[in-house]
């Protein structure tokens, strides 16, 4: 009897080992070296400047990923269920303005008052003031756009946007959050920065090999574009004018958290939403593809997950951190974007059922 039990245990052990070693998974991790983590020290020292947000109801929606204001001051936000919601300037009367039929993420108005949308499922869209939706592009250089993420419209009308991952499409892999975890675990450089020219209808790849290409912001002087490389904890700069045209270089590196969206703010600032603190376990496994495969075979609840922590920063034209706002208690968790006006910071979130707005006076801005 004891021999049978031992034999059964041995068989189960072999099956378990085979599962963790040979079970097919969608990721093929690439070895890399995670940069030093400054943690919450120096310019990132813990503070509570992000506390005191006002919140506005957004109906039955959740996940106001990105926020834009029209010429009348009305507030628009892209939500998880596909609705672009619209609120009055004071945050009242939320309404489902349009539904894209996908998962809208980054949004920005062009000069003709069309709302340009990076839709993770549908590509790059344009919505006119009447609510009519037009698909602008679904591929670049013959490669399908599988995860349109963020967007910014330049002064000349060109639309710069990110395709977060050409391998782990948001719709094909269970949603934007689920597919992002796969791309971050693999670290295979599947993200790219794209540009769409309304004058020609052409979409081109400007920068590729990014590890989860996320937020996009055109520079104040229109000479370069910033794109957040979430998986490498940095912001990249790509020049679109001047002697450096076509070149790229890091703008800021070694962030203590995963950067999500980036936006052009006021007074020369660029705002970066830091969605979650870095995972020590994930960093420690950066050089070990085998261990990351093992972890990927674990049940989902046992893998590294986003940790709620309220955090946004502002950078100047040199990439220096000039403002750091935090809420360690994460009353409004998983910050994804910032839209700055003279009086407020509108802050997006991946999960919340409300929309956040911080009076700048409360944050000492």
Beta bridge pairs of residue 349: 335
- How many Å apart are CA 287 and CA 276, to the nearest integer? 21
Distances (CA, A) of 354 to 64, 90, 156, 252: 7, 14, 34, 31
Instruction: Please say if the pLDDT value at position 35 is more than 60.
Output: yes
pLDDT range class, residue 123, cuts 50, 70, 90: very high
pLDDT higher than 70, residue 20: no
At the topology level of CATH, where does 71-309 sit? Neuraminidase (2.120.10)
Place 295 in a pLDDT band, splitting at 50, 70 and 90: confident
- Per-residue pLDDT band at 119 (split at 50, 70, 90): very high
Based on C-alpha coordinates, what's the Rg of the chain? 21
The per-residue pLDDT for 15 is: 47
What pLDDT, on the 0 to 100 scale, is given for residue 333? 82
The answer on pLDDT for 327 being more than 60 is yes
* Run of H or E including 270: strand 270-277
Instruction: Give percent above pLDDT 90 in the chain.
Output: 85
Domains of the chain, residue spans: 71-309
Rounded Cα distance between 236 and 29, Å, is 22
Contact 233, 258 (CB under 8 A): yes
């Amino acid at each position: 009897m004891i021999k049978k039990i031992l034999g059964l245990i041995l068989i189960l052990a072999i099956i378990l080992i085979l599962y963790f070693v040979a079970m097919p998974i969608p990721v093929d991790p690439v070895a890399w070296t995670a940069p030093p983590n400054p943690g919450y020290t120096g310019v990132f020292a813990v503070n509570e400047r992000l506390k005191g947000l006002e919140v506005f109801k957004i109906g039955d929606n959740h996940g106001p990923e990105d926020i834009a204001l029209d010429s009348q001051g009305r507030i628009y936000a892209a939500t998880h269920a596909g609705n672009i919601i619209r609120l009055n300037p004071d945050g009242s009367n939320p309404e489902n303005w349009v539904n894209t039929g996908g998962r809208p993420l980054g949004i920005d108005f062009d000069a003709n008052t069309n709302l340009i949308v990076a839709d993770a499922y549908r590509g790059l869209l344009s919505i006119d003031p009447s609510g009519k939706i037009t698909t602008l592009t679904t591929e670049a250089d013959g490669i399908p756009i599988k995860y349109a993420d963020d967007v910014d419209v330049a002064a000349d009308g060109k639309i710069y946007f990110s395709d977060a991952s050409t391998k782990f499409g948001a719709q094909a892999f269970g949603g934007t959050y689920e597919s992002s975890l796969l791309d971050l675990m693999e670290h295979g450089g599947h993200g790219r920065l794209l540009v769409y020219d309304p004058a020609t209808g052409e979409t081109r790849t400007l920068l590729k090999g990014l590890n989860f290409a996320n937020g996009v912001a055109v520079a104040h002087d229109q000479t370069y574009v910033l794109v957040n490389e979430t998986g490498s904890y940095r912001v990249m700069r790509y020049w679109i004018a001047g002697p450096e045209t076509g070149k790229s270089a890091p703008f800021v590196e070694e962030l203590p958290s995963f950067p999500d969206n980036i936006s052009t703010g006021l007074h020369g600032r660029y705002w970066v939403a830091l969605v979650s603190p870095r995972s020590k376990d994930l960093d420690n496994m950066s050089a070990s593809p085998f261990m990351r495969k093992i972890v990927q075979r674990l049940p989902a609840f046992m893998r590294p997950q986003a940790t709620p922590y309220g955090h946004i920063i502002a950078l100047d034209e040199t990439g220096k951190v000039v403002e750091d706002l935090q809420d360690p208690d994460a009353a409004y968790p998983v910050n994804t974007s910032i839209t700055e006006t003279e009086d407020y910071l509108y802050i997006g979130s991946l999960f919340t059922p409300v929309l956040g707005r911080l009076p700048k006076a409360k944050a000492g801005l």
